A and B are shown apart, each in its own frame.
Chain A
Amino acid sequence: NAGVTQTPKFQVLKTGQSMTLQCAQDMNHNSMYWYRQDPGMGLRLIYYSASEGTTDKGEVPNGYNVSRLNKREFSLRLESAAPSQTSVYFCASTEGRSSYNEQFFGPGTRLTVL
């Protein structure tokens, strides 16, 4: 039982390059999330998917797109990377049907945009 997995763990991009961050969960969770974590800013929600087939913007969606590929997988795409997108990105999931259920987090992707 791997929980939430993310690939890659580290990535360096040049300004203007594109890339996709992959996330998968094996807990049969309904809801999945993408956050970014910056020093002094805590966690900021980029996009989330409350259930398979739906996606919604979070607090900081500009410059990102997402795809809920199936119930297990939720990817985050940077179409044209900018230095302001240098951050640590976390994927998370939750069962979703109850407010009692906690989020489970992946190990993170550390992205640097030069």
Chain B
Amino acid sequence: GNSVTQMEGPVTLSEEAFLTINCTYTATGYPSLFWYVQYPGEGLQLLLKATKADDKGSNKGFEATYRKETTSFHLEKGSVQVSDSAVYFCALKKTNTGNQFYFGTGTSLTVIP
């Protein structure tokens, strides 16, 4: 079936550190892949997406590359800020499953000054 596995948290980093949050997926065919961010007390917001193999999604300094050979979509940022503290969710979508999205369990990031 379809599923997403992302690294366990919580993750704590100092400001300006490099961030990687791992995400791997299981799916047949060619899903689209997404990263969402959830700030405290809010709903999820789309951070970036990639719709085919080797695509790189990017936004606000975050990047992720769709790697079909390793079924991965790792999130990276070169220099995190305190304002990046949030929970990050990896997700996939396939249209032939009734437009269902499959989410990972989320990774909590705290950035300290």
Tell me, rounded to whole Å, the shortest Cβ–Cβ distance linking B4 to chain A.
9
Instruction: Flag if A48 contacts B98 (CB, 8 Å).
Output: yes
Residues of B within 8 A of A50 (CB): 98-99
> Chain A interface residue count: which class?
20 to 34
Instruction: Flag if B46 contacts A99 (CB, 8 Å).
Output: no
Q: Interface residues of A: mostly helix, strand, loop or mixed?
A: loop
Instruction: Flag if B44 contacts A105 (CB, 8 Å).
Output: yes
Is A56 interfacial (CB-CB < 8 Å)?
A: yes
Residues of A within 8 A of B94 (CB): 99
Tell me, rounded to whole Å, the shortest Cβ–Cβ distance linking B55 to chain A.
10
Instruction: Flag if B104 contacts A96 (CB, 8 Å).
Output: no
Is A33 interfacial (CB-CB < 8 Å)?
A: yes
| Set A98, A103, A106: member contacting B101, Cβ < 8 A | A103
25 contacts across the A-B interface (CB closer than 8 A) = A30-B99, A40-B105, A42-B89, A42-B104, A43-B103, A45-B100, A45-B101, A48-B99, A50-B99, A58-B100, A90-B43, A92-B44, A94-B93, A96-B99, A97-B95, A99-B32, A99-B93, A101-B93, A102-B93, A103-B44, A103-B46, A103-B101, A105-B44, A106-B43, A108-B42
Give me the interface of B with A, judged by CB distance under 8 Å. 30-32, 34, 36, 42-46, 49, 51, 89, 91, 93-95, 98-101, 103-106
Give me the interface of A with B, judged by CB distance under 8 Å. 4, 30-31, 33, 40-43, 45, 48, 50, 56, 58, 90, 92, 94, 96-108
